[in-house]
A and B are shown apart, each in its own frame.
Chain A
Amino acid sequence: MYGVQQPTMTSTTQEHMAGQLAAIIPEAELNSWELEELLDCLNELDSRHQELVLHQISVIWPVSHSLCLAFLEAVQPALECLAADQLAAWVRGILDRYESQGLKEARRFMADLDSHFVCKLRGETGLLLSAIKGRLGLYLRGVAGRPFDLERATQPGTDTVTIFLPRSLAVFSNDQDNFLIYKLLASLQWAFVRGNLYCHEVKDERGLFAKLGPAWQADTDSEVFLDRFFQPFARPELAMAIYHFLHTVRALAFLQQRLPGLMSDSRPYFQLMARNSPPAGTAFLAAEYAELLEQLGAGQPLHLPAGSISRHCQPQRRQDDDQGIFLDTAAIYQAAAKTSPLAPAPDFQGSLTVERAHKRRQARRQEVEQQFIEALSIRILPAVATSREDDAGPETGPDQPQQPDSGANLSLRLPGDQEESRDRDQSAEHPVRHVRLDDESIELDSRLQELGREIMDDLGHLPQLYLDSAAKMAAGRSYEPGLSTSPQEGTPLTGTNLYDEWDFRRQGFRHNWCHLLEKDIQPSGGTFISTTLTEHRGVIKQLKRQFEQMRSHHRFIGRQRDGDDIDLDALTEAVADQRAGLPASERLFIRQLRDERDIAALFLVDMSSSTEGWVGKTIKESLLVMAEAMESLGDRYAIYGFSGMRRTRSEVFRVKEMSEPYGTTVQGRIAALSPKDYTRMGPPIRHFSKLLAGVEARVRLLIILTDGKPEDYDDYKGEYAIEDSRHALIEAKLLGIHPFCITVDHTAHDYISHLFGEVNYLFLDDVKKLPRRLPDIYRILTT
């Protein structure tokens, strides 16, 4: 029936394909436009791939028509990434997602191809972003001092949080050179963000608009500053091009100074651009673009701005002059011949998308502000709390409330600079490492530094208000605990598995407050296990080898009662002791110690509904990879999940008991893990601390995987939930257990360092890294 399997099929005419399709899909199931769509998609494919895809259609179509259409859309780009023999595995993955999680998940899975399959590069597609995203992301994070999301788009660009880059680059014939261009593009977009391309406000907007002319005096309803600036021009696109160009020159000059190596490496690229660009002609800005490329190609320091338009600008304007670039834009615009067409900008400049950036930035700014204030308030909390203990804190006490406007003693201290600095270029130099609060310098942890960096990039300074709010919040935390909502009052429970809960307001326990139930999970079948094992086989193999080495770690220890060899040091000492009239030690041997790891670990997985989707799935994959690796290590370990609702029903799910062997049953239970209810973290932590404490081992590790949001259906949330979870971890420590929390989320970091302590946690902002990092973390922790 499957004519597609005939190896002889090479001709792929429309009719032929239609015939093939008809063989697969009963005519009645397909209307004409669907058929056309299918054929169109097939025709776009490389002829080598058509029969492969046809075969997969025969697999998918009976399952779901819409899935099949979605697949056809996704398959072409996918095949640039997948080797032909990987296609079938990919389709299995798609079907698995579809059957377990529905069409939406399946679509996401398709879109996420890069993370599931290591892309194979081919000459004709050049270098794929997906193949180098990891390296580029790390590079950019280091260079920028804060993370950016990298996403693909047709044009380079940024919305100030995400940097968009082309899906693939084939400017040069080798990967190394193409990577360089990726690096350049990403760095330039970062420089735009630093240079405030999407300026959201200027000092003295009225003053600026008064200088620009009457058209700018009119009332406008746009809430976006750049719109208010561009719209009054008769040809806004011309003004935007000028503005973007001026920024490009500025950003490139910044890169020349900051990343000189990058800029000199990129010279051949600029030269190529110069050679390939059409003769300058009369189009507007053409001469300027050409001159820019020439200077870049020659490695000359850029002067701002280039070319004939420079006479319209005022050279004495400072680079960081807020208004200068707008005045220059307007001046150049005035002088431009309004009729001439606009020259195309060099590719690397990318697109200017005011609206998108504005939206993203609005959302992000609030997020960052909140996170920063919250995190800083927790950071300064210990100081406030201590001063209260000492009874020395009336000046920050409730009688004398904080004065938000007394900003003088609050200032941002940049390293090596005691004064508050609002100078964007200068403060751009280094991480924001301290803030000053009441003349005390407060060191920022790395997350606060990153947030600070982002705020500086956005606003150019760290607003006083943020510091004040944090100080207030910190004061509120320690003095007005009653203000926060209280978990429902109630009576202690009776029965087994009852756990206390920490109430931070009364600084005491609510006894027998929570009821915990241990539950079984029914192992599930399906393809999850085999798919995951196949997808990650490279990693698993590598990990097994690594873990193997940890296991066979041999060590010689001296001063033993018996052993394979004589400990000469001990012997000499014993002889000397004896001569000195002391009893000589009998520990004179060296023994080879084989496996002295003696470690028991318990993996505790957050199964609350907030981990649904991306976290849930990858956590399962990670557990599987981890378990595979653990098998070659021999440490004892257990896996449990937890969730629940209300204090009366805290549930833990048994995936693998400490003594249980790993096998298909355990695998099946991992596969069956699914998001449940809420996250009351205290009870499971206490439960498993107790369990671990009873395990005979040198080191007992409690590894908690969570999105870091303790929250229950009742009032177990916010500060109460954080404080109880934190306390449960402290209790675990006191029991001699080493808790380690791995938090996976985009944003939950604000209170996390408070919750999980300084050393014992790791924050992962990209869940895709988890399968790799989890065993890695385990290795570092236990060697």
Chain B
Amino acid sequence: MSSQKIEEHFITTEPYYREQGNELTIALAAFQHKIPLLLKGPTGSGKSRFMQYLAWKLGRPLVTVSCHDDLSTSDLVGRYLIRGGETVWLDGPLTLAVRHGGICYLDEIVEARKDTTVVIHPLADDRRELPIEKKGEILSAPDEFMLALSYNPGYQSVIKDLKPSTRQRFIALELGYPAPDIEAEIVSHEAGVSAEEAERLVRLAEMTRGLEDAGLPEGASTRLLIHAGTLMASGIPPRQACKVTISETLSDDHELVAAVDEMISSLY
């Protein structure tokens, strides 16, 4: 569980973030106009990193919740605990962010059950309030509070689709994979590999993207490239590094894995 102390959620050093387009401008505008943010994009495309950067830029604390299907409303809003015979109320991360005018980032929102996520609705429209039922309290969000969700719209389970009614309350930012030169820059920076090495990794990623029809819903993400690069930088032979970080993680289909392996061995 994330820290209860809001001070610990401030980001003090500038995170490395390489802008893809004008996402920062849009996000700042959304903040200014108190409109919640929906980050769309495949996994590992920089959504979390972007939120860190945004929080740093705004000087607001960032409270991140990774959603999963066991997440309960209490996990978000808060609960009473017993301490030394006394009951104490403990703010959940969402409440914490609302109370202190922070940014609450619900990562992978579709993983949470729908009955859990209803609590964000009054926060997401212009009421901007959070009812804390157990305390009989309704918290009004200060201007600095911002709600952000992330969601991966890729070809995936219909069970996990985001409802249009939810979606329409947000400003949606699409963070796809960055353009090749930018992506190479990121990989080089994060993994500590040379520009050429990073470029080659990006080329590999490109080969694996766009194979949806062939049964690969998502290609290698920036994150995977960074993993591969990190292994390479620590001396692991490139083919092996790519195999363990990329081909084996992308699919279980033997033919696809084999084909990706062939791409790797063509490049390295």
Contacts and interface: CB of A to CB of B under 8 A. Distances in A.
Interface of A: 134-139, 141-143, 145, 183, 187, 258-262, 265, 415-416, 429-431, 433, 443, 446, 449-450, 558-559, 569, 572-573, 575-577, 579-580, 582, 699, 701, 738, 740, 758-759, 762-765, 769, 773, 776, 780-783
B158 A572 contact: no
B259 A449 contact: no
B256 interface: yes
B213 interface: yes
Given A431-B210, A446-B210, A699-B159, A142 B255 contact: no
B263 A139 contact: yes
11 contacts: A135-B259, A135-B262, A138-B214, A138-B259, A141-B214, A415-B179, A576-B81, A579-B86, A769-B214, A769-B215, A780-B157
Nearest to A144: B207
Contacts of A573: 74, 79-80
A303 to B, nearest CB: 21
Nearest to B263: A142
Interface in B185-217: 203, 206-215, 217
Given A138-B259, A141-B211, A142-B207, 14 more contacts: A136-B259, A136-B262, A415-B182, A559-B72, A576-B87, A577-B134, A579-B87, A580-B87, A699-B159, A701-B158, A759-B154, A769-B215, A780-B217, A781-B158
Contact of B239 (A261, A416, A558): A261
Given A138-B256, A776-B215, A558 B72 contact: yes
Given A142-B259, A780-B217, A558 B87 contact: no
Interface string B61-85: 0000000001010100001111000
B161 A738 contact: yes
Given A573-B74, A782-B159, A261 B268 contact: yes
A142 B210 CA distance: 8
A139 B262 contact: yes
Nearest to A557: B70
Contacts of A576: 79-82, 87
B172 to A, nearest CB: 13
Contacts of B268: 260-261
Top 6 nearest A-B pairs (CB, nearest first) are A415-B179, A138-B259, A576-B80, A416-B181, A142-B207, A262-B266
Contact of A262 (B72, B209, B259, B265): B265
A580 B158 contact: no
Contacts, number: 132
A763 B212 CA distance: 9
Interface in B149-185: 153-159, 161, 176, 179-182
B80 A261 contact: no
Nearest to A700: B158
A46 B135 CA distance: 87
B89 to A, nearest CB: 7
B157 A143 contact: no
B237 to A, nearest CB: 11
Nearest to B202: A430
Contacts of A145: 206-207, 210
Contacts of B259: 134-139, 142
Contact of B157 (A260, A764, A769, A781): A781
B180 A429 contact: yes
Contacts of A569: 72
A183 B262 contact: yes
B266 A183 contact: yes
B24 interface: no
A595 B164 CA distance: 28
Contact of A580 (B80, B156, B180, B215): B80
The interface size bin for chain B is: 35 or more
B224 interface: no
Given A259-B266, A430-B206, A763 B87 contact: no
A582 B181 contact: no
A433 B264 CA distance: 23
A260 B267 contact: yes
Contact of B155 (A431, A559, A577, A759): A759
B260 interface: yes
A430 B182 CA distance: 13
A142 B211 contact: yes
A762 B212 contact: yes
A740 B158 contact: yes
| Interface core residue of A183, A575, A576, A782 (most chain B CB under 10 Å) | A576
- Residue among A259, A261, A262 with most chain B CB within 10 A: A261
B233 interface: no
B266 A143 contact: yes
A699 B80 contact: no
Contact of A138 (B87, B211, B217): B211
A783 B156 CA distance: 9
Contact of A699 (B158, B206, B208, B211): B158
Nearest to A738: B158
B258 interface: yes
A416 B258 CA distance: 31
A371 B216 CA distance: 24
Interface in B237-267: 239, 255-256, 258-260, 262-267
B215 A446 contact: no
B262 to A, nearest CB: 4
Nearest to A264: B268
Contacts of A262: 265-267
Contact of B80 (A137, A450, A579): A579
B207 A783 contact: no
Contacts of B208: 142
B155 A134 contact: no
A135 B256 CA distance: 7
A783 B157 contact: yes
B264 A261 contact: yes
Contacts of A575: 82
B157 to A, nearest CB: 6
A431 B134 contact: no
A547 to B, nearest CB: 15
A780 B216 CA distance: 11
A572 B74 CA distance: 12
Contacts of B209: 446
B1 to A, nearest CB: 12
A284 to B, nearest CB: 33
Nearest to B212: A446
Given A138-B211, A138-B259, A415-B179, A261 B82 contact: no
Contacts of A433: 179
A422 to B, nearest CB: 19
A431 B177 CA distance: 12
A780 B262 contact: no
B79 A762 contact: no
B179 A265 contact: no
A183 B258 CA distance: 12
A365 B174 CA distance: 33
Nearest to B254: A135
Contacts of B239: 261
A430 B206 CA distance: 8
Contacts of B153: 758-759
A782 B263 contact: no
Given A187-B266, A576-B79, A738-B161, A765 B217 contact: no
B241 to A, nearest CB: 13
Given A138-B211, A142-B211, A261-B265, A431 B81 contact: no
A556 B136 CA distance: 30
Nearest to A779: B157
B82 A572 contact: yes
Nearest to A783: B157
Contacts of A758: 153
Contacts of B260: 142
A558 B180 CA distance: 45
A582 B266 contact: no
